Structure 1
């Protein structure tokens, strides 16, 4: 699924990385515990979370496979998060949907949850 489709499905606002919306994402992970995210082994993944701190971007950088972070419940990440994500080439979006609904919508539209399913 292309990131542009993710944006459309989640009615999300792209906060950084507009130029990468044509990229494909293979799986999604919904988590607020970054230790759960670190246990993931999926390539070209999307992370949905309600956390809006720099640890989210750092976790994505450590894994190297997360190409997009979607903040749920309309949470607005700070400028530092956006700058970190931009320098790491990670797309940042936000949606008003809660985590459960956002994950369900992506699953319903064909995006799988990956190796931990």
Structure 2
């Protein structure tokens, strides 16, 4: 699956890294707690979150994530978009709630890693 596939499945608006959406993604996680992402997430490509601040970009960068999808129609600030572009991270937003967004990705074959 690619970032473009995720954009289509979740009907996302792209804010940063549109040119990076051809990259392959194999796993995803959904969390609003960046401490949990840092503590428990391994080898995830996509982060789905309702938390919208620069810490999300920094966390994704530390975890080598390729893309962040903001749920519930939340949108990143210009500073966040600039930071994501600097770090090579795609930013998207979907109107879906977290549960629905994760379910749609699961239904289309994207998994959460070793501990599904």
TM-score between the two structures when normalised by the length of structure 1: 0.95
1:115 Cα deviation after fit: 2.6
CA distance in 1, matches of 2:114, 2:42: 7
SS, match of residue 36 in structure 1: helix
1:35 Cα deviation after fit: 1.2
Q: Deviations over 1:49-95 (max 9, x none)?
A: 0000111001011112x100000000011111111100000000000
- Runs (4+) of structure 1 exceeding 2 A deviation are none
Tell me what 2:60 maps to.
60
Unaligned runs of 5+ in 1: none
Aligned length: 115
Q: CA RMSD in A?
A: 0.9
Unaligned runs of 5+ in 2: none
Structure 1 stretch displaced more, 23-32 or 34-43? 34-43
SS, match of residue 66 in structure 2: strand
TM-score between the two structures when normalised by the length of structure 2: 0.96
